[in-house]
Structure 1
Amino acid sequence: MPKSRLECCQRLSSSAEIVKCQTCKNKFHYACVSTSETPYTEVTEDYKNKWVCSVCLRRNKGDIIEPTGGVVPVHTATSDYVENVTIRCKETTNSNIDHTITSSVSMQEVRNIVREELQILFETFSKDIMKQIDCKFQEMLHNMTAINTSIEFLEQKYEDVRQELSLKFETILHLERENKSLRTDVNKLQSRLSLMELQSRACNVEVQCVPEFKNENLVATINQIASVIKCDIDKKDIITCTRVMKLNKDSPRPRSVLVKFSSPRVRDTFLAASIEFNKKAKTNLDKLNTSHLGIGGDKKPVYICEHLTPAVKALHAEARLCSKKLGYRFVWVKNGRIFMRKSDKSDYIYIKNSEVLKGLK
């Protein structure tokens, strides 16, 4: 069965979306006659069964029907006629060509209007976006300017600090060189002072562990010691004879007796005689002690040694402790210098400072 042309657009009824007027029984495309946004698939059956075309609706209302026989799209049976809808009229010419007359807005015009609206919206949106972008860009430029200012300030401060550090570094180098020079001078002065102290003590001997008595005669005590060790000295050879203060006040030992002789030769003779006397003693009790000085009671040893500086005394004490630890048999002092020897056949070692003791094996 051939397809019939529809009354709305005079096209064949190839579409399934068709509505039928309940009065004139003519068929129309739903897209041509509907002004609703509701799609055809959502239209109810009740709506379809009651739908009336615009011609029949106007006829029922008593309106004048156009003589052309055109069809005017309608909404529903109860809706009023709406302006700006498309009305197509069929005109017959000699060439039998269908012409579509647009009484209101065509689809192309609608498209143009939509395009214009979209263009306006796009331009408005673009202006707004460009305005925001320009605002943000100006803000970024302001921030960049502030950052550049801060960087320039920091660079200037860095340069100032660098120059100041350079000056401080040069000052430190100068002070280090000066300090090194001063240390060298101090060491030299200490060496000279130590030498001068040794020279000033070259005529002195120190007699230790001699008991103290009130109104004692120290010169007579020294002469008694010289007589015991068989050292011939004259009264004129003893310049001074006195006791010295103890370094450790809590020590129970009596204060030492400092004797200054007339010359280093006399001093050396006195020391040599005391050493020889102790060597000849058969036992430790026979070495020089308080009984040789005419002092009764228990025998207590008496020591005769060089008058050393405090620094040399401390080094001598450290050397004696080290000799006991490492097994060195001999530790002695000569002319203010400390020496050590491990055995009779080994070479002596000059103990100049504590570093030498640390290097011993």
Structure 2
Amino acid sequence: MPVCSGCTVELGEKKLFCKQCKGFYDLSCANVLEKDYNKFTLDEKTCWICAFCKSKNRKGGDNSNTPVRSSSALKPTEEDRAAHVTLRSRDRQRGLSGPPPPADHDVGHTGCVRIEELKDLIAKEIKENLNSSMIGIISTKLEPQLKNIREELADYSQAMKFFNEKFEEMVIRQGEYIDKVKTLEKDNQFLRDHVEKLNQRLKQIEDNARSANVEIQCLPENRSENLVSTVQQLGNVVKCPLNSSDILYCSRVAKMNTDSNRPRNVIVKLSSPMQRDTLLAACIKFNKSNQNDKLNTSHLGIAVDKKAPVYICEHLSPETKSLHAAARLKARELNYKFVWVRKNRVFMRKTEASDYVLIRNIEFLSKLT
């Protein structure tokens, strides 16, 4: 805070600045009444000169209105002492020692003002002279922009409120959907287990329905063929005679692959599973006994240009047939020597001395090493 150049007391809000000596004065040192100060205009305050500076500008007259200076501001210099002070002989001998000259940053009210003080002065003058009219003008200019800003903020606030409501709704719905998904997963797992059980039951029913069936593969087709007589001839060849009462059903079935050139298979339903197993065992024994002349078309009395082998096997379900085909490919890959089917189940064996392996499904087969 600046101090009065006259009495060196810290100044208040009401003060005057001398444009000539660059010093501040309170009203008492400036010899100005408060009511007169309140009537001063901005130009009068800016152009005001203290009484001390006015007295220096005069050529004569009285200096009774000169304000009281502080001792530091009115200290005489060496030149003033030399010009106006008569020195005694003892003073002349030892010399007159005076105070050191002030430093540049201590240049007071009769010298230059520091930049920091000047900035403070300008800021205070602007603050003191910013009257209500200027504030009104600024408010008038800024009010439309402020109004637009307030309206936009209100719109943003409304939009954020709307988004928050929607977000809360989405959170609630997401929780509901998660519960529904969990319920559906449980239902799905239950249905999977139930379908698996039904598949097992259906497979068991199919196996029971096919338990007395025999499938004859690669038997040549003929329009005038008698399949029952052919089956009886087959029984006689393998030394397992069959009567007409032992054969309950005999017919060809459609091809699974219509592009295949092989003849349609023949399905024979015998009187019992035991009769079926007896016929299959007799066919296996016949083929083992006749390695160079296994069961073929010539044994069944079918006239063809070239003898063709005829295969007798169990009547398998489509699922078991696919598993049997995959097992044959896997056996070729892993060098397994034996692959066979017994009672609608697929078995594999690597050598004569090794144990057999029951192939339950494709997953089990893929893990086989």
TM norm. shorter chain > 0.5: yes
Q: How much has 1:97 moved relative to structure 2?
A: 4.7
For the residues of structure 1 that align with 2:190 and 2:275, how far apart are their CA atoms?
41
The within-5 A match list for 1:1-361 is 97-98=60-61, 123-283=132-292, 286-296=293-303, 297-361=305-369
Aligned 8 A contact 2:232 2:241 in 1: no
3-state SS of paired residue (1:246): coil
Aligned 8 A contact 2:248 2:270 in 1: yes
For the residues of structure 1 that align with 2:127 and 2:353, how far apart are their CA atoms?
118
Q: How much has 1:127 moved relative to structure 2?
A: 3.0
Opposite residue 354 of structure 1, the aligned amino acid is I
CA 159–117 in structure 1, closer or farther in 2 if over 3 Å, else same: closer
- Post-superposition Cα deviations, 1:17-68, rounded to whole Å, max 9, x if no partner, equal xxxxxxxxxxxxxxxxxxxxxxxxxxxxxxxxxxxxxxxxxxxxxxxxxxxx
For the residues of structure 1 that align with 2:126 and 2:262, how far apart are their CA atoms?
120
- Post-superposition Cα deviations, 1:236-285, rounded to whole Å, max 9, x if no partner, equal 111111111111122111111110000000000001111111112233xx
For the residues of structure 2 that align with 1:140 and 1:351, how far apart are their CA atoms?
79
3-state SS of paired residue (1:340): strand
CA 127–239 in structure 1, closer or farther in 2 if over 3 Å, else same: same
For the residues of structure 1 that align with 2:282 and 2:174, how far apart are their CA atoms?
68
Structure (1 or 2) with the larger CA radius of gyration: 1
Q: How much has 1:118 moved relative to structure 2?
A: 11
CA 164–117 in structure 1, closer or farther in 2 if over 3 Å, else same: closer
Runs of 5+ consecutive residues of structure 2 not aligned to the other structure? 1-58, 64-124
Q: How much has 1:130 moved relative to structure 2?
A: 3.7
For the residues of structure 1 that align with 2:323 and 2:134, how far apart are their CA atoms?
96
3-state SS of paired residue (2:164): helix
For the residues of structure 2 that align with 1:202 and 1:126, how far apart are their CA atoms?
108
Aligned identity (percent) is 43
For the residues of structure 1 that align with 2:354 and 2:302, how far apart are their CA atoms?
40
- Post-superposition Cα deviations, 1:306-359, rounded to whole Å, max 9, x if no partner, equal 001111111111111111111111110011111111111222111111111211
Q: How much is the aligned-residue C-alpha RMSD, in angstroms?
A: 2.5
Provide the TM-score with structure 1 as the length reference: 0.64
3-state SS of paired residue (2:263): coil
CA 332–118 in structure 1, closer or farther in 2 if over 3 Å, else same: closer
3-state SS of paired residue (1:216): coil
For the residues of structure 2 that align with 1:159 and 1:173, how far apart are their CA atoms?
21
For the residues of structure 2 that align with 1:205 and 1:223, how far apart are their CA atoms?
13
Larger mean Cα displacement after TM superposition, 291-300 or 267-276 = 291-300
3-state SS of paired residue (1:197): helix
Runs of 5+ consecutive residues of structure 1 not aligned to the other structure? 1-95, 101-115
Q: How much has 1:121 moved relative to structure 2?
A: 7.1
- Post-superposition Cα deviations, 1:86-145, rounded to whole Å, max 9, x if no partner, equal xxxxxxxxxx95379xxxxxxxxxxxxxxx999777654433334445544443333222
Q: How much has 1:165 moved relative to structure 2?
A: 1.8
CA 118–246 in structure 1, closer or farther in 2 if over 3 Å, else same: closer
